[in-house]
Amino acid sequence: MKFLKLEKGAFSFHISERERRALFKLLELYPLVPASYQKLSRDGGKPEDQQLLEDALNSQRNEHKAQVLAMLQTKSRFQSAPGGYQFNLKPTEAEWLLQVLNDIRVGSWLLLGSPDSMVKIFGALNDKSLPHFWSMEASGDFQMTLVHALTGGGGTPPPSTETGEAIM
Amino acid sequence: MAETAMPEIMPDLEEKEASESKSKSELEPGYLVICWNDPVNYMNYVTHVFRKVFGWNKPKAEFHMLQVHNQGKSVLTRESMEKAEHYVHQLQKYTLHATMERDE
């Protein structure tokens, strides 16, 4: 997926058919991160406060899930273009899609056992973990394009070595 | 001179004072919003989230992102309990590892 332009308050991306299928496949996974993953404070805090936090996160995820489904069902979202489609998103939609994709990325990482380096991920790859690795990397790739657009980028994103370094 | 009549029920001053004290404590900027190192999040994603949530400029957002990266955590702001909760929730919506801690 490539960022094309920001016009009339909406971002336009070019997305191939294969990328579009991959994006839809990824979005089916949402939500992946359990609400209990997030803590209000380092020591856990009061159980009632933690419950409130988890309720708020679950509510927000349900809202996002509905938005994702609505997006999947809107045919005008993807307009035919040479080599694929023009994919249009308003900035607010790009923001929640970014949140959804990062949930999938972090959730996939958790399913891989929360490795702290790529070496450990590659060392433990097998038939069972490979789909999680794919969803972590693919969601990260879409995220980078969205961040590039949201931060005022133009054309194609810079090489991943400059923009895609994870905090590891 | 007329005497002032004593109320039959005295107000619970201690309870009121405690309540006022608690409210004051919650309003004081005594809570730190901390972002912890998280090996999965991209650096420019974290920078973007900091800018979005706090309205910071890029250099400030990058400074805190690099602090997380190099030192394991960064204190992002010091706020009242209510505001700190708000910020933590905003950061967690983006699946960043953020907590609020009482500033001792």
Q: Chain B within 8 Å of A40 (Cβ-Cβ)?
A: yes
The 8-class DSSP code of residue B103 comes to -
CA of residue A148 relative to chain centroid, distance: 13
B82 is a domain residue: yes
Query: Any chain B CB within 8 A of the CB of A98?
Result: yes
> What pLDDT digit, counting tens, does each position of A109-131 carry?
999 999 888 888 888 889 999 99
What are the boundaries of each domain within chain A?
2-163
Give A103 to chain B, closest Cα distance, Å.
Answer: 6
Provide mean pLDDT across the span A69-89. Answer: 88
Asked whether A133 and A26 are in contact (CB, 8 A), the reply is no
Is A42 in the B-facing interface, judged by CB distances under 8 Å? yes
B80 three-state secondary structure? coil
Residue identified by tokens 């209000």 is A40
What's the gap in Å between the CA of B55 and the closest CA on chain A?
Answer: 13
> What is the pLDDT averaged over residues B3-28?
52
What per-residue confidence (pLDDT) applies to B6? 47
Q: What is the ipTM of this complex?
A: 0.86
Instruction: Say if B101 falls within a structural domain.
Output: yes
Query: Is residue A102 predicted with pLDDT exceeding 50?
Result: yes
Return the structure tokens found at B73. 């955590």
Mutation target among B34, B37, B44, B90 for the A interface, most CBs of A within 10 A: B44
Q: Which residue has the higher pLDDT, B56 or A55?
A: B56
- Whether residue A98 and residue B38 make contact (CB cut-off 8 A), yes or no, is no
Q: Tell whether B4 is covered by a domain.
A: no
pLDDT at site B26: 59
Beta-strand relationship, B73-79 and A78-81: unpaired
Residue type, B7: P
Query: Rounded distance, CA A100 to CA A143, Å?
Result: 10
Report the mean per-residue pLDDT for chain B. 83
List, in order, residues 6 or more apart from A95 with CB less than 8 Å away: A150, B52
**E runs forming strands in A16-160:** 78-81, 84-89
Quick check: B24 pLDDT over 60? no
Q: Which structural domain, as residue segments, surrounds residue B85?
A: 51-104
CB A87 within 8 A of CB A23: no
Contacts 24+ apart (CB under 8 A), A1-6: A1/A87, A1/A141, A1/A142, A1/A145, A2/A145, A2/A155, A2/A156, A2/A157, A3/A145, A3/A148, A3/A149, A3/A153, A3/A154, A3/A155, A3/A156, A3/A157, A4/A86, A5/A154, A6/A149
Nearest residue of chain A to residue B58 (CA atoms)? A151
Residue B30 lies in a domain: no
Q: Which strand (E) or helix (H) includes residue B98? A: strand B98-102
Structure confidence at residue A165 (pLDDT): 54
- Return the pLDDT at A155: 43
pLDDT in tens, A15-71: 999 999 999 999 999 999 998 888 888 876 778 888 888 888 888 888 888 888 787
Contacts of A167 in chain B (CB under 8 A): 37-43, 46, 65, 68-69
- Structural domain contains residue B72: yes
* Contact between chains at B39 and A117 (C-beta distance less than 8 A): yes
User: Which residues, 6+ apart, have CB-to-CB distance to A39 below 8 Å?
Assistant: A45, A50, A53, B99
Predicted pLDDT at A104: 97
pLDDT of B62 above 80: yes
At residue A74, the pLDDT reads 82
3-state SS, residue A166? strand
Write the CB contacts of B27 (distance below 8 Å, at least 6 apart in sequence): B80, B81, B82
Mean pLDDT of B87-99: 94
Question: Does B52 contact A95 at a Cβ distance shorter than 8 Å?
Answer: yes
Task: Tell me the helices (H) and strands (E) count for chain B, helix number first.
Answer: 4, 3
Q: Work out the pLDDT band at B31, boundaries 50, 70, 90.
A: very high
What's the structural domain count of chain B? Answer: 1
Substitution target from B93, B101, B103, B104 for chain A, most A beta carbons within 10 A: B93
